[in-house]
Amino acid sequence: MLEKVFDANTKPLNWPPYVFVTISRPGCTTLIVASDHSVTDAYSMASVPYEIWELYCAAIRGVAPRVAPAHGYLDYAASERARVSDLTDRHSAIEHWRELIAATGGQLPGFPVPLGALGDAVQQTRRIWLFDADSALRFDRACRVQGGHTAAGIFACLALAGRALGNQKKFYSVVPFHTRNASQWKHSVGWYVGMSPVSFKVTDAFPDLLRSVRLELKRARRTAQVPFSKAMEVLGRTLRDRFVVSYMDDRVVPGSDCWARWRTRFLISRCSDPQ
């Protein structure tokens, strides 16, 4: 029943493409927020629990909520459009995309190992604990000692897995980066995401691999400031991403330290997409 409600009310071409649902029980209430991905990025959705908590507590206490002012996403979209309106194929971001497309046979990179026939595969939500808090901190420190950081370490490990399982000599992927690079967009809800190529040679020495990844991620973050659609327009391509690696450090999200106490959960829809 709920899934049908979400599917009917979160269509990208309808307005508004989001819905709020409450499930009331004796002594507690569950609040569910569902939204189409076209109007909310991961950071937007992750910020919702804290804002709801603040608004709820303020209403009970009869005080003003401690929620930071948020600027509108339409203002950001207008500024972004103006910023890239005269972009040419000589821009460094376009060259970055051109390099990746040439290296991967005229398409965007696929998964490093064969997946077989996908058909109408249903997108699944699955969570696997790799580290607890202490081991995650140790991993981060180990990466920094060798010239990297947590994100670089994760990509390095993925590359080594790709080489072990698929004899991958070079790692290729498309990676999303946030574009909330000004303070007025920090608390705004919208699609503050840019896509970028990430590619690097898979070497045996882990410190060398970490440093290569760190430099490539730094370059990729700059490329992501150019919208993917604009990059494809300049290149005269109609490509779509096939293998995406997304990393987000939720520790920077307001209220994330309370998610366990609030019993916060994040899920994705069960949509099917054979591409």
DSSP 72-124: -HHHHHHHHHHHHTT--TTSHHHHHHHHHHHHTTTS----SS-----SSPBP-
| SS3 state of residue 52 | helix
Residue 45 resides in a domain: no
| SS3 state of residue 273 | coil
Nearest in space to 194 (alpha carbons), one of 236, 159, 149, 230: 230
Residue 72 resides in a domain: no
Query: Per-residue confidence at 271, pLDDT binned at 50, 70, 90?
Result: low
pLDDT at 48: 93
Residue 2 resides in a domain: no
Domain with 185, as residue range(s), is 87-112+125-251
Cβ atoms within 10 Å, residue 134 = 8
pLDDT digits (tens, 9 = 90+) for 73-87: 999 999 999 999 999
**pLDDT of residue 123 exceeding 70:** no
Q: How many Cα atoms sit within 13 Å of 29 on the Cβ side?
A: 9
Residue 57 resides in a domain: no
Q: How far apart are CA 145 and CA 122, in angstroms?
A: 41
pLDDT at 112: 85
Strands 170-178 and 193-201: antiparallel
Q: What is the CATH number of the domain that holds 144?
A: 3.30.559.30
pLDDT digits (tens, 9 = 90+) for 61-72: 999 998 888 889
What value does the mean pLDDT take over residues 119-146? 83
Residue 209 resides in a domain: yes
**pLDDT of residue 117 exceeding 80:** no
What value does the mean pLDDT take over residues 94-119? 87
Query: Per-residue confidence at 12, pLDDT binned at 50, 70, 90?
Result: confident
Contacts 24+ apart (CB under 8 A), 7-16: 7/269, 9/34, 10/34, 10/35, 10/36, 10/269, 11/36, 12/36, 12/38, 12/39
pLDDT digits (tens, 9 = 90+) for 24-46: 999 889 999 999 988 999 999 99
Q: Is the model's pTM score more than 0.85?
A: yes
Residue 264 resides in a domain: no
**pLDDT of residue 119 exceeding 80:** no
**pLDDT of residue 140 exceeding 60:** yes
**Torsion, CA 253, CA 176, CA 273, CA 47, rounded to 10:** 10
Residue 270 resides in a domain: no
Domain count along the chain: 1
Residue 33 resides in a domain: no
pLDDT at 242: 87
Q: How far apart are CA 50 and CA 264, in angstroms?
A: 10
Nearest in space to 185 (alpha carbons), one of 65, 33, 47: 47
Task: Determine phi and psi for 32, rounding to 5 degrees.
Answer: -120, 130
Measured in residues, the chain has a length of 275
pLDDT at 181: 87
